[in-house]
Amino acid sequence: MQEVQTKTRPFELEVALSVQTYDIDFAGIVSNIVYVRWLEDMRLKIMEKYLPLDRMMANGYCPTLASTQIEYKKALRLFDRPVGKIWISDAGRLRFTLQAEIYHGDRLATIATQICFFVNTENMRPLAIPEEFWAVYRAGNC
């Protein structure tokens, strides 16, 4: 797998997250499923800014998840105001890795890693990372 190394965090975004009353579990903390939703929201923000989903789909491909790993460091509760940071930490010929951190104030609450790849929308088969992705990645416009 070909790796691309950069000194910056490509595609990095910071996103304000909100805790809703329905996000709280029986123990009074944010439910683990909410973190998965927040990761999805942050991925969509990356696409909105750098690689619009509608344009990718019109070109016959879209990103897909292979795995998600979440490590909880500090519980979040109702009325907390978390902030998420997400970026691409690694990219190869077929897959790329998203790294995310969620903070409450200056304290790290969560670390997450997602492995992603692109699929052809007609046959849903994996394909090499599209040139459109590499153009943005290499240009450093992210």
CATH of the domain at 134: 3.10.129.10
Average pLDDT over residues 93-105: 97
Does the pLDDT at position 83 exceed 60? yes
* Domains: count for the chain: 1
110 is in which domain, residue-wise?
Answer: 13-139
Residue 133 φ then ψ, to 5°: -60, -50
Does the pLDDT at position 8 exceed 80? no
Task: Please check whether residue 8 lies inside any domain of the structure.
Answer: no
pLDDT (tens digit per residue) in 19-68: 999 999 999 999 999 999 999 999 999 999 999 999 999 999 999 999 99
Q: How confident is the model at residue 138 (pLDDT cuts 50, 70, 90)?
A: confident
Record the pTM. 0.88
3-state secondary structure of 69: strand
DSSP 107: E
Task: Mean pLDDT check: name the lowest of 4-8, 20-24, 86-90, 94-98.
Answer: 4-8
